[in-house]
Amino acid sequence: MTSPSAGPTAGWSPSSWKSKPIQQKAVYTDQKAVEKSLAKLNHLPPLVPTAEIDKLKEKLRKVAIGDAFLLQGGDCAELFDYCTQDGIESKMKLLLQMSLILIWGSHKPIVRIARMAGQYAKPRSSPMEIVDGKEIPSFRGDILNGFKTDERDLDPSRLVDAYFHSAATLNFVRGSISTGFADLHRPLDWGLGHVRDPELQLKYSSTVDAIADNLDFLRATGHNTGSQELSTVDLFTSHEALLLDYEQSLTRASKLLKSGEQAYYDTSAHFIWVGDRTRQVDGAHIEFLRGIKNPIGVKVGPTTSSSDLLVLLRTLNPNVEVGKITLITRYGASKVGTLLLEHIKIVEGSEYARSVVWQCDPMHGNTRSTSSGIKTRQFADILSELQQSFLIHKREGSYLGGVHLEMTGDAVTECTGGSVGLEDDDLSLNYTSFCDPRLNEKQSVELAFLIAGHLKQ
Ligand code: PEP
Ligand code: MN
């Protein structure tokens, strides 16, 4: 047992969240089995070393001050079954390709964070759902229960399974990167054949040519051996810190700070965020997050009041550390115009001016259902929220430092529009998400081209 700390995190301990009201609570029937799983997690080594968490913090500091750009993306709900060579490689390749386009557009380093190796817990709007006329518990992510209808009871052994699937994913990512997967000198297959609009085709392919030329130039001038940034790539991991029992079990006391305070890190991932449904200022999730050193994301949406936003910043980042908090804004294309402006004014007019990372999540405010009840998002709405966000930040003198996307390297048909021209009727062709609809590889790369266009301005 650890004792509550002094200093800015007074009264905090890794378990102090338990005395606060909690949303999306996990109620198990076999508490003994839960305790056994949590004890096991507590005993296992960190999934990520604290030094890497500090390294990401330093990079996010650069994003906050406008010297770098953040690309974060991956599945809405990662499944244990996605832990395969192909699954992991296709996500790494997509992040890499998109970041090359963004480097070209921004002339800045790109910080890459995957929603991967731990994105296993999902908040749900309803705890129950009707399937084939029967009411059963909703799927809450592989760390809690299974998608199959006979696996909906919460299973405590999944807590430990989540750790090992994260570990296997991370192991493969690290191995791939250290043996040259991310070697940017290898030719990349851009597959632009689907872009039928001749003007867009020309625009995208000339960007690809420019990127290839730049890489050739660097190689010819001998940068291929010495440049760390070009031969290896940092890839950080992230997930929503929803299941606090799990997060607490992977939280470790690290060094003593100069103030005499003990530093705690949540070693389940480099970056964790609090979702739109669990960010109550006096709730359990914020209580847990305020005590850890990791960089933290906060989803900010139409229901976030300006006063709550300031309370959240003051609670999570009392020392005003630059880059500590990423505000992940997700309002929807029709609301961003008024709401983002209001939030920028309140943050940039406070002691937090120029200290947060502003990141646009153009996915979660733009979800709609088709007439046949399929959850989808339109590429045009996603792009519109992004474009409006860029313009509003520019006008206000703040820096839109990143994007947060739900995407996959697979050829899924979950979002409509884009140059692939998917329509509502195409959605059933390859809809494989177990939660929210993701951009497929081509839609994601196209969005990167469009973002790069904005960064260039
Ligand atoms: C998510 O990122 O998958 C999610 C549930 O987002 P939000 O909390 O913003 O709704
Ligand atoms: Mn989602």
- Segment 375-413, tens digit of pLDDT: 999 999 999 999 999 999 999 999 999 999 999 999 999
How many angstroms separate the alpha carbon of residue 367 from the centre of ligand 2? 9
275 lines ligand 1 (CB under 6 A): yes
* C-alpha of residue 315 to centroid of ligand 1, in Å: 21
Whether the complex's predicted ipTM surpasses the cut of 0.90: yes
What residue owns the CA closest to ligand 1's atom 9? 276
299 ligand 1 Cβ < 6 A: yes
Instruction: Give the contacts of 159 (CB within 8 A, at least 6 positions apart).
Output: 34, 37, 38, 41, 143, 243, 245, 246, 249
- Least reliable range by pLDDT among 7-21, 177-191, 254-268, 308-322: 177-191
| pLDDT recorded at residue 156 | 98
Of ligand 1's atoms, which has the minimum distance to the CA of residue 436? 3
pLDDT at residue 44, as a whole number: 98
Cα 353 to ligand 1 centroid, rounded to whole Å:
25
Atom of ligand 1 nearest to the CA of 278: 8
84: left (phi over 0), alpha (psi -120 to 50) or beta: beta
Identify the band that residue 9 occupies on the pLDDT scale cut at 50, 70 and 90.
confident
290 pocket-lining for ligand 1 (C-beta < 6 Å) = no
Residue with the larger pLDDT of the pair 220 and 331: 331
pLDDT score for 256: 74
**Alpha carbon separation from 319 to 96, 180, 199, 300, 356 (Å, rounded):** 34, 39, 49, 21, 12
Query: How many residues comprise the chain?
Result: 457
pLDDT value at residue 167:
98
Angle at the Cα of 311 from the Cα atoms of 305 and 312, rounded to 5 degrees: 85
Distance (angstroms) between ligand 2 centre and the Cα of 435 equals 7
Q: Six-digit token pair at 360?
A: 């646009």
For the chain, the average pLDDT equals 92
Whether residue 48 has pLDDT greater than 90: yes
Range 311-329 average pLDDT: 98
Q: Going by DSSP bridges, is the β-strand pair 357-360/271-274 parallel, antiparallel, or unpaired?
A: unpaired
- Between strands 262-266 and 251-256, the pairing is antiparallel
* pLDDT tens string 196-239: 788 888 888 888 888 888 777 777 776 654 445 545 568 999 99
Supply the residue whose CA is at minimum distance from atom 2 of ligand 1: 76
For ligand 1, the distance from its centroid to the CA atom of residue 345, given in whole angstroms, is 24
Query: For residues 114 and 92, what is the distance between their CA atoms, to the nearest angstrom?
Result: 8
Residue 275 CA, ligand 2 centroid: distance in Å: 10
Which has the minimum average pLDDT: 32-36, 142-146, 147-151, 418-422? 418-422
Q: What is the pLDDT of residue 218?
A: 72
Percent of the chain with pLDDT over 90: 81
Ligand 1 atom at minimum distance from 435 CA: 3
Question: What's the per-residue H, E or C state across the chain?
Answer: CCCCCCHHHCCCCCCHHHHCCCCCCCCCCCHHHHHHHHHHHHHCCCCCCHHHHHHHHHHHHHHHCCCCEEEEEECCCCCHHHCCHHHHHHHHHHHHHHHHHHHHHHCCCEEEEEEECCCCCCCCCCCEEEECCEEEECCCCCCCCCCCHHHCCCCCHHHHHHHHHHHHHHHHHHHHHHCCCCCCCCCCCCCCCCCCCHHHHHHHHHHHHHHHHHHHHHHHCCHHHHCHHHHCCCCEEEEECCCHHHHHHCEEEEEECCCCCEEEEECCCCEEEECCCCCCCCCHHHHHHCCECCCEEEEECCCCCHHHHHHHHHHHCCCCCCCCEEEEECCCCCCHHHHHHHHHHHHHCCCCCCCCEEEECCCCCCEEECCCCCEEEEHHHHHHHHHHHHHHHHHHCCCEEEEEEEECCCCCCCCEECCCCECHHHHHHCCCCCCCCCECHHHHHHHHHHHHHHHHC
Q: State if residue 332 touches ligand 1 by the CB under 6 angstroms criterion.
A: no
364 lines ligand 1 (CB under 6 A): yes
Q: What pLDDT, on the 0 to 100 scale, is given for residue 227?
A: 44
pLDDT of residue 457: 82
Q: How do residues 338-380 score in pLDDT, each as one tens digit? A: 999 999 999 999 999 999 999 999 999 999 999 999 999 999 9
Segment among 65-74, 195-204, 303-312, 327-336 with least mean pLDDT: 195-204
Q: Which residue has the higher pLDDT, 185 or 250?
A: 250
Structure confidence at residue 193 (pLDDT) = 75
Q: Which of 299, 359, 360, 382 to mutate to test the pocket of ligand 1 (most atoms within 8 A of CB)?
A: 299
What does the pLDDT look like over 236-285, one tens digit per residue?
999 999 999 999 999 999 877 777 778 999 999 999 999 999 999 999 99
pLDDT of residue 7: 65
Residue 330: CB within 6 Å of ligand 1? Answer: yes
276 lines ligand 1 (CB under 6 A): yes
Distance from C-alpha of 443 to C-alpha of 414, rounded to nearest angstrom: 11
